[in-house]
């Protein structure tokens, strides 16, 4: 099973700042089939990014994904109040596994 390790566990930032979230896989992710989801308290996850860098429908361009192989990142430029949430990466190249999440909180 591919293990995904996200870092940091928590990111404390102010609105307007940028954020870079890391997702490292224990082995290469097939075809870079990696997605990112956002989850707010009491809500379902929402797809942000798929295939490493493709934005899902209606996702603003301040969200971007990058990486390949075992190292991936989600970058959020100019954090808005609505962006403070937990973010999960997920690989879907070999079965499906999620990272443990990164919480982006207001500083």
Partner 1 sequence: EVQLVESGGGLVQPGGSLRLSCAASGFTFDNYVMAWVRQAPGKGLEWVSAISGSGYSTYYTDYAKGRFTISRDKSKDTVYLQMSSLSVDDTAAYFCAKGSGSTWPYFFDSWGQGTLVTVSS
Binding site residues, partner 1, CB under 8 A: 30-31, 33, 35, 37, 39, 43-47, 50, 56, 88, 90, 92-93, 95-101
Give strand ranges (E) for 1-107: 4-7, 10-13, 19-25, 34-39, 46-50, 54-55, 63-68, 71-76, 86-91, 97-98, 102-106
Nearer to partner 1, 70 or 93 (CB): 93
Nearer to partner 1, 12 or 30 (CB): 30
Least distance (Å) between residue 60 CB and partner 1:
17
Least distance (Å) between residue 102 CB and partner 1:
10
Nearer to partner 1, 63 or 88 (CB): 88
Q: Which pairs from 8-12 meet CB under 8 Å and 24+ separation? A: 8/102, 9/100, 9/101, 9/102, 9/103, 10/102, 10/103, 10/104, 10/105, 11/102, 11/103, 11/104, 11/105, 12/105, 12/106, 12/107
Least distance (Å) between residue 98 CB and partner 1:
4
Least distance (Å) between residue 92 CB and partner 1:
5
Nearer to partner 1, 5 or 78 (CB): 5
């Amino acid at each position: 099973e591919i293990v995904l390790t996200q870092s940091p566990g928590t990111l404390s930032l102010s609105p307007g700042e940028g954020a870079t979230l890391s997702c490292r896989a224990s082995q290469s992710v097939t075809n870079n089939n990696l997605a990112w989801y956002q989850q707010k308290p009491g809500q379902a996850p929402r797809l942000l990014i798929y295939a490493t860098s493709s934005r899902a429908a209606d996702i603003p361009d301040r969200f971007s994904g990058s990486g390949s192989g075992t190292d991936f990142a989600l970058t959020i430029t100019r954090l808005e109040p609505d962006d403070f949430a937990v973010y999960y990466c997920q690989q879907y190249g070999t079965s499906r596994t999620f990272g443990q999440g990164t919480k982006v909180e207001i500083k």
